[in-house]
Amino acid sequence: MKLAFVGLGNMGQYMAANLLAAGHEMRVHDLRREAANRLVEEGATWADSVASACEGVEAVFLSLPAPPDVEKVVTGPDGVLAGLASGATIIDLSTNSPSMVRKLAKLAADKGIGFLDAPVSGGTRGAREATLAVMVGGDADLYARFEPVLKAIGPNVFNTGDIGTGNVAKLINNQLAFINMMAMNEALLMGAKAGIDLVMLRNIVRASSGDSFAWIGGAVAVLKDKLPTRFSCTLAAKDIGLAQELADETGVDSKLGRLTYEMIKGYRDNGFADQDILATIKACEEQAGYTVRGLWHE
């Protein structure tokens, strides 16, 4: 297919590369021209604007930080809707607000343009290795057309239903992940101060009912003191904040989600904005007067 890709950040650059490697013709655009250098070397074509990237393509993929960014890129005077022809499709890979997705999909439909919300999960490693999970909301026929294309970025592509439900799934997933991460910090410090070997505790939980994706990788990263730099507290606060908006819209009293949101906002606003969400263990260590980083052993 002839594709465009807008947003070549930590995730987008790898997803675009995998689509290109799958044989698709691609135009690319980002606020930073240098973000596209490697893709251009591999065969992509640089476009000087979003609108020019979208001219004549069958679909444009978006990978952008937040709902206002997506709205601006789609509706701006030199944006997606200004360049995309009727019959083409917008595929939004961003973590977005379901209500924003539905709003943009309506604007696109008014111009004869399709819209799929297709947020992804799996982090930068999953983006690089094309192992992402992709949650896709939108028209069933449109989904069927683009499912083979989406499998170039990850093998687990889910048809979640109506437009916006891809992001419903993504926000719920991320809220669960962040709740588990905050619980992991407490568990490691409780275990250490109570006298149990933390590698032993890690292995026990892995074999028991308290296990989670956050525990599998997060506990090892903390105990080895090899904290990643992939998912900042700022992004985490944005995602779980969107989850709280969803909880409010649906009338669900999300007590754990709300508490975790307030915790992550607090970390963000007190020195952790640009640090990975797992780096919040440092604040927990300071409060507990005990350090668990570096306690890994074979």
Cα of 278 vs its chain's centroid, Å = 16
Q: How far apart are CA 208 and CA 203, in angstroms?
A: 9
Could you tell me if 241 and 269 are in contact, meaning their C-beta atoms sit under 8 angstroms apart?
no
Q: Is 264 helix (H, G, I), strand (E, B) or coil?
A: helix
Q: How far apart are CA 236 and CA 171, in angstroms?
A: 11
Could you tell me if 4 and 60 are in contact, meaning their C-beta atoms sit under 8 angstroms apart?
yes
Active site residues: 170
Q: How far apart are CA 63 and CA 66, in angstroms?
A: 9
Which class for 287: exposed (0-12), middle (13-18), buried (19 or more C-beta within 10 A)? exposed
132 token code pair = 């992402």
